[in-house]
Structure 1
Amino acid sequence: MNKKYLIFQFFIILIFLGLGVMSAQQLIDPDRSNPYNRIFVDTDNFGSSYLEELEAGYPKLKTDSLKYAALNDLAYYTHTRDLNKALEFTRSGLKMVREKKNILWEGRFQITEGAILLRMEQLDTAFAILQDAKGKVKKQDLPHLFTQLGYVFERNGDIMRAADYALEAKRIGTELNDKRAIGQAYSDLSNLYWKYSDFDKGLEYGLMSVKFFEGRNLNDMEYDFVLYVVGNNLLSLKRYEEALRYFQHANSIGKRYGFYNNLCDINISLVDLYTDLNQYDEAESAGKEALKYAKLIDNDFLMMRSLLALGRLKYFQGKYNDAIHTLNKSLEVATPEFGDKFYLSQAYERLSRAYAKSHSYKKAIDAFGVYDSLKKLVFIENSNKRMSLLQTEFDLADKEITIQGMEERIKKQSSTQTLITIIAGLLLILLMVLYVTYENNKKKNILLEKQNEEKEFLLKEIHHRVKNNLGIVSSLLDLQAEKIKDPKIISAIEESRNRVYSMSMIHQKLYQGLNLSSIGMKEYLIDLSQHISDSYGGDGRISYNYDLEEMELDVDSAIPMGLIVNELLTNSFKHAFPKNVKGLISITCRHITESRILLEVGDNGIGLLEFDKEDDAGRGFGTQLIDLLIQQLDGSIMTINGLGTKTRMEFDLD
């Protein structure tokens, strides 16, 4: 099982490292619209080298506020690796803002300075600086400030005062809807209840904190810490497998961002976990890791606790003399300014047991006496009542916030109901107006529909009469042709009759169709070609190949196109297939683009068509007519001669 967890942890670390390497976006870019992507606020998409990037980039920022923000972030997160360097960055920032007399940023840098100093065991100085910052910063900065003040009292062993500050931070965070502040407050309470040995309550608050941090979708140091705190409560409840999962998750985040302080905490707890499971080799390995990070950050508090965990391990291994040596070494690291009575009490309690096992009973009694006095300082008289009262205050604060929220919702609902009533009245009036308008429009529409039907009937009647009149003209031409003997004149009359027929077909299609303004060109061209074939006796001798697209054209476009096709087909029948030979005529009509049409007529006859006999100008009437019609359509024409003749035309239609 442990090997599986180690493999899982290894892959998690690889994924995080890969994400950090793949991150292409720089944290600081002065030429960008957002020059500084604030770490753990705007983004967490970076690797452990982010502090080096901040250190190199913050001087390039052009506005003071952005420069201060980047430097303050650099100082605060550097304390997770190097406390002295972090303090240098902070005091450099304080010098800058004091020269500019920027009180707000002076207060914010002081909060960072206090956070660093309390971790350097300078608790009184840290408290004074944090108190001074309180009157300089904005309300949104107070949850972070109260969190640091809570840590000062926690390190002094005053769990009650620490809890008071956590409660105040949570109250302000709730007012501001600051998920990070609320999550941090629940995290601190979880840790305090763990120290108070109320592990169920500690786990409850820890899981609530995890929920708030995960709602931010950002992995930061505080989220990493609460995972560790939840793991501690689970470990104390002997839920080892669950505790290990939380420790491993926290470990992967800590390694990605280089949170040495959190990594040391996690490995200290892993020493205890593996010790409880009698997995002493794993406990030894975790202890070495804890010592490594404590040395890297050069922090006596972490070093003392690492040795304390290793002393407990030696005790459970039965190596009592080694345990005594390691625990005494732990107490040597804890100087008189150490302050944290909770861990000092644990060290003396374990030392007392180790002395007893090695039969040094007087030393065991002395160590136990120190443990007992420290415990009384941490868990003062009536502390149970105080913790219960604290819990009541905490619950009441939640309920007050809930009640305030409900009152606000009731007010909003009341306002909403009034607004709805007004809107409903207006809607009723509007509906009445709309109903009257609808009835009037209905009457108008009936009248308009009747008028449209009458107009449509009249238009159809006009097209019908135009078609009939053109039919009469065609018949007159037939009668005239019967009285004439000259073949050329008869041919000319026949061509004119076909021209008239091509126009009459347009009007026939209009009054027979559903649309009085346009003609379906596919059906029209097929009917026209069949008529020309019948006129020249081409049935059974001349066949057609159609490539016709379904399209609707208006009368002004359809009539010229019909006359052009009529002329081209007439000349194909007259000249392309002499001596009654069989042949093929192809007709193409389709869109090239949305507004441009291709019209193409070709045959496989004897070659270039000899249009009407040339007139004095050297051009036949058919050629002149086609040119005029092409101009009317604003088109172009090209004749291709090869195996037959093909005439290609393109038109732009409105």
Structure 2
Amino acid sequence: MRPINPNTRQPGPARRPALRMLFFAFGRTALLVAGLLCGLAASGQSINRPRVNSLLAELPKSRPDDHRIAILLELGRFHLYKPGESKADLDSSRTYFRRARQLSDSLGLRTRRHETESLLIAADLEGGQRASGRARFADLIRRCQRSGDREGEAIARVRFAVWLRNYAPDSAQVIGHFRRAAALYQSLHKPADEIHALKDIAVTHFYEGKLALAETELLAVLKRYKAIGYPNVHYTYNLLSSICRVKGDLNGGLKYALLCIDSMHKTADTASAAAFYGDLAQVYEAAGNHPQRMEWVRKSYAAWHRERLPNFALYHAAGIIAKDLIARRRPTEALRFIQQLIQDIPTNTIIQKGCVAQNLAYCYEALKNDRLAERSYLEALYWYEKNRLDFEGSLRVRQELGAFYLRQQRYKEAGDYLTKALTTLPQKEPLSALRDIHRMLFRVDSARGSYLSAIRHFQLYKALNDSLFNEAKSKQLAQLQIQYDTRTKEQNIALLTKQSELQQSALKRARTTQTAMMFGAVLLAGLLGVSYNRYRLKQRSNRLLEAKQREIDQKNQSLEQIVAEKEGLLVEKEWMLKEIHHRVKNNLQVITSLLNSQSDYLDDPVALAAIRESQSRVQTMALIHQRLYESDQLSKVDMAGYIGEVVDYLLETFSVQPAVRAEVDVAPVRLDVNLATPLGLIINETVTNSLKYAFPVCANGTRRPGVIRVTLLPLTGQTYRLVIRDDGVGLPEGFDPARSRTLGLTMIQGLSRQIGGQLRIFQESGVGIQLDFNPAKK
């Protein structure tokens, strides 16, 4: 089994199985299943559609020499490794390879001939002729040895080793071929190719889950690359970033990912930009930085979409964008987005079909179509398992199936899929994914009464979460981001300074020319004395102006330094506020867990109900701090998302669905946390009261159906109106809310007075409350 990076092109399993891993011959990016080139990857480059168009234009103009052979091989590899099962692509690749072989023979280029033969073997493997592949590679290596072609032997060994790594996983034999290739390149004094082979050894160890060994080897590779001045080190940075992310070192993952992007821009080698952007987004996902994650996911999606070629990374990025739309309560738009993408760029491989099925499952679940959602999740799992791969995507679909069944309260199915996701390849799972699985298994075991197992999962969840997000690591992540942003700004400033210097130079030249012309005119007119006097006056004025300019520049520098210091203090303050909200939220969750544990020792229904109501109040306050921690605004709460989460939590807690449903209509308003907290508690108390009394269980065991409507809309000026009403059985006869002394009503009335609101309790086809308040008067 091999790890797959969702941000790289994936070849098709039916036509491309023999070379599904061949692109690791010289390494392109971390956790690859497919790149585009073997040969060009040796120089740290890949080939994309713009590069192909350039080669096609260059080919007719090229001379019949080694350069033309290189062009033919590049074009052949592009068609050979293009995703999909098109026979036309395979035939095109053979045509280019045969032309390259014919030209190699005519020029007597032995190494080029052997290289072309290795690619023709690869094409036949792709066409399904796998039985003879091992023997043909071995024969090619022997012929290279007999003819003394050490470079051809090295190329063949590397390709043979990658093929073995994919279909006959014998690590000792694979690493032996890579080491032999490295030794051959060393004897040929080709240090870059030698280091590429050593990098492939590190990639092999990465596949085996030997993360520490792979990281050590890649650091040695990076050091050697820098020693020989090799420019395209961003591919090695990308591998190191992925290793750090998988093992839970998010600081290292972010550092190397940012170095990768920086190196890519410096060298202008942007052929793999889409993959690098996607990998950086994965680091931000693990770190919980949703805004930055979405910024880089959209960049990755745009870059893939421009190529107009179907590949796994394109659909994976589209799925992340769809989930972001769903989180913003736009599931219909998310579904249209995925359907339009499939129509524009249809899938052509098994794992692409699996990814699209995953994306559709997210949309159907958000649209409350649970039947189609379940079918799509199972379809995705079917395609991934049919592909005979077990990578991060297939593990994640099991995790998502478990989460889906957990939300459906189908705890047995949830536990089965989550356990499979946890135990299949834990050494290759990112720590962030393991953390989330343990958290869900804690909920599953709690619901099924397996309390000891639930406690173990909760302890593992807390340990993994603390490992990922302790205070020091969080601060380091923030510092790395600040350093990257600062470096980017400095580069922009340097560019502007250079442009300014050029402009100043042009102005000086123009000024000199003008002075010379004036001086000549003065000579001709015989006014040398007067001109000289004016010239001295002008020089004096210039010196005064230059002194003033220097004074202004010094003041500007002082101001820039003060601004930079204040920006640093502001960033640190925002980070500290986020940390405070995060800790408050964690403490409230601990209180919720303590209340839950206390309820296990109570038999009194009244006491149990009080415990549950206290839990919902604590959860209402915890949701506010959770939203503030995830938001860019640390003092304002998005009421639309917050109220929706409170209502969904209460419906799930009381287990009244599908008999009772909620309709929420909230204006897009952000309120101060001091106002959002009492409003949340008022909503909690009112909805809880409706769920307890408005929809009783009938004699036949079924619950009276109904709807709870929650609206928060503006009236006039700065006044808002909150209305919560149900269509239940109404108030008992003779009940007077004004004289009631129940805790819930007392809290509602007290909180309404606290925010300066006007409260009205009414009974119209059920019971409701109306609260008018002005945020400006709070």
* Structure-1-length-normalised TM-score: 0.50
Check if 1:36 corresponds to 2:127. no
Check if 1:195 corresponds to 2:254. no
- Cα deviation digits, residues 178-228 of structure 1 (max 9, x gap): 334555444333222223333223212322444555677877665565444
Residue aligning to 2:387:
296
Alignment of 1:30-429 (within 5 A): 34-37=71-74, 47-49=84-86, 62=104, 67=115, 84-85=166-167, 95-96=180-181, 98-100=183-185, 101=188, 102-111=190-199, 114-115=202-203, 117-137=205-225, 139-180=230-271, 183-211=274-302, 225-244=316-335, 256=347, 258=349, 260=351, 264=354, 267-268=357-358, 270-283=360-373, 284-299=375-390, 301-335=392-426, 337-417=427-507
**SS at the partner of 2:400?**
helix
Distance between the aligned counterparts of 1:38 and 1:410, measured in 2? Answer: 43
Q: Displacement, 1:287?
A: 3.1
Q: Considering Cα pairs closer than 8 Å and 6+ residues apart, tell me whether 1 or 2 has the greater RCO.
A: 2
Distance between the aligned counterparts of 1:233 and 1:47, measured in 2? Answer: 29
CA 1:343–1:237 in structure 2 vs 1: closer, same or farther (change >3 Å)?
A: farther
Q: Displacement, 1:248?
A: 5.5
Distance between the aligned counterparts of 1:387 and 1:368, measured in 2? Answer: 26
Is the CA contact (8 Å cut-off) linking 2:322 and 2:335 kept in structure 1?
A: yes
The one-letter amino acid of 2:72's match is P
Distance between the aligned counterparts of 2:222 and 2:468, measured in 1? Answer: 27
Q: Displacement, 1:133?
A: 2.6
Distance between the aligned counterparts of 2:168 and 2:241, measured in 1? Answer: 21
**SS at the partner of 1:179?**
coil
Residue aligning to 2:661:
none
Alignment of 1:533-544 (within 5 A): none
The one-letter amino acid of 2:73's match is Y
Q: Displacement, 1:310?
A: 1.4
**SS at the partner of 2:232?**
helix
Q: Displacement, 1:252?
A: 7.7
- Cα deviation digits, residues 456-502 of structure 1 (max 9, x gap): xxxxxxxxxxxxxxxxxxxxxxxxxxxxxxxxxxxxxxxxxxxxxxx
Q: Displacement, 1:125?
A: 3.6
Q: Displacement, 1:394?
A: 2.1
CA 1:24–1:400 in structure 2 vs 1: closer, same or farther (change >3 Å)?
A: closer
The one-letter amino acid of 2:192's match is L
The one-letter amino acid of 1:307's match is R
**SS at the partner of 1:108?**
helix
Is the CA contact (8 Å cut-off) linking 1:348 and 1:371 kept in structure 2?
A: yes
Q: Displacement, 1:134?
A: 1.7
Q: Displacement, 1:46?
A: 7.5
Distance between the aligned counterparts of 1:124 and 1:285, measured in 2? Answer: 37
CA 1:266–1:375 in structure 2 vs 1: closer, same or farther (change >3 Å)?
A: farther
- Higher mean Cα deviation, 393-402 or 89-98? 89-98
Distance between the aligned counterparts of 1:341 and 1:148, measured in 2? Answer: 17
Is the CA contact (8 Å cut-off) linking 2:232 and 2:267 kept in structure 1?
A: no
- Higher mean Cα deviation, 303-312 or 251-260? 251-260
Is the CA contact (8 Å cut-off) linking 2:350 and 2:383 kept in structure 1?
A: no
**SS at the partner of 2:471?**
coil
How many pairs were matched up? 406
Q: Displacement, 1:146?
A: 0.7
Q: Displacement, 1:353?
A: 1.3
Q: Displacement, 1:108?
A: 3.2
- Cα deviation digits, residues 295-350 of structure 1 (max 9, x gap): 52422544432221111122223221121122222222134x33521111111111
CA 1:211–1:163 in structure 2 vs 1: closer, same or farther (change >3 Å)?
A: same
- Structure 1: gaps spanning 5 or more residues: 1-19, 429-654
Q: Displacement, 1:151?
A: 0.5
Distance between the aligned counterparts of 2:474 and 2:165, measured in 1? Answer: 36
The one-letter amino acid of 1:106's match is E
Distance between the aligned counterparts of 2:506 and 2:312, measured in 1? Answer: 43
Is the CA contact (8 Å cut-off) linking 1:227 and 1:249 kept in structure 2?
A: no
Q: Displacement, 1:53?
A: 7.1
Distance between the aligned counterparts of 1:94 and 1:123, measured in 2? Answer: 19
Distance between the aligned counterparts of 2:479 and 2:77, measured in 1? Answer: 35
The one-letter amino acid of 2:422's match is L
Residue aligning to 1:589:
none
Q: Displacement, 1:175?
A: 1.6
The one-letter amino acid of 2:220's match is D
Distance between the aligned counterparts of 1:257 and 1:114, measured in 2? Answer: 31
Distance between the aligned counterparts of 1:86 and 1:51, measured in 2? Answer: 23
Distance between the aligned counterparts of 1:125 and 1:394, measured in 2? Answer: 28
The one-letter amino acid of 1:84's match is N
Is the CA contact (8 Å cut-off) linking 2:402 and 2:413 kept in structure 1?
A: yes
Q: Displacement, 1:367?
A: 1.6
**SS at the partner of 1:345?**
helix
CA 1:306–1:402 in structure 2 vs 1: closer, same or farther (change >3 Å)?
A: same
- Higher mean Cα deviation, 39-48 or 323-332? 39-48
Q: Displacement, 1:155?
A: 0.6
Q: Displacement, 1:415?
A: 4.4
Is the CA contact (8 Å cut-off) linking 2:315 and 2:356 kept in structure 1?
A: no
Distance between the aligned counterparts of 1:412 and 1:399, measured in 2? Answer: 20
**SS at the partner of 2:266?**
helix
CA 1:339–1:361 in structure 2 vs 1: closer, same or farther (change >3 Å)?
A: same
Distance between the aligned counterparts of 2:256 and 2:478, measured in 1? Answer: 16
Is the CA contact (8 Å cut-off) linking 1:111 and 1:133 kept in structure 2?
A: yes
CA 1:254–1:81 in structure 2 vs 1: closer, same or farther (change >3 Å)?
A: farther
* Structure-2-length-normalised TM-score: 0.43
Alignment of 1:560-599 (within 5 A): none
Is the CA contact (8 Å cut-off) linking 1:154 and 1:340 kept in structure 2?
A: yes
Q: Displacement, 1:351?
A: 1.2
Distance between the aligned counterparts of 2:81 and 2:272, measured in 1? Answer: 18
Q: Displacement, 1:373?
A: 1.2
**SS at the partner of 1:35?**
helix
Q: Displacement, 1:277?
A: 3.2
Q: Displacement, 1:377?
A: 1.6
**SS at the partner of 1:175?**
helix
CA 1:312–1:210 in structure 2 vs 1: closer, same or farther (change >3 Å)?
A: closer
Q: Displacement, 1:234?
A: 4.1
- Cα deviation digits, residues 510-530 of structure 1 (max 9, x gap): xxxxxxxxxxxxxxxxxxxxx
Residue aligning to 2:524:
none
Q: Displacement, 1:51?
A: 7.5
Residue aligning to 1:647:
none
- Higher mean Cα deviation, 187-196 or 73-82? 73-82
Q: Displacement, 1:171?
A: 1.4
Residue aligning to 1:582:
none
Q: Displacement, 1:152?
A: 0.3
The one-letter amino acid of 2:222's match is K
**SS at the partner of 2:428?**
coil
The one-letter amino acid of 1:194's match is E
- Cα deviation digits, residues 374-401 of structure 1 (max 9, x gap): 1112223344433322321221121011
The one-letter amino acid of 1:408's match is K
Alignment of 1:515-554 (within 5 A): none
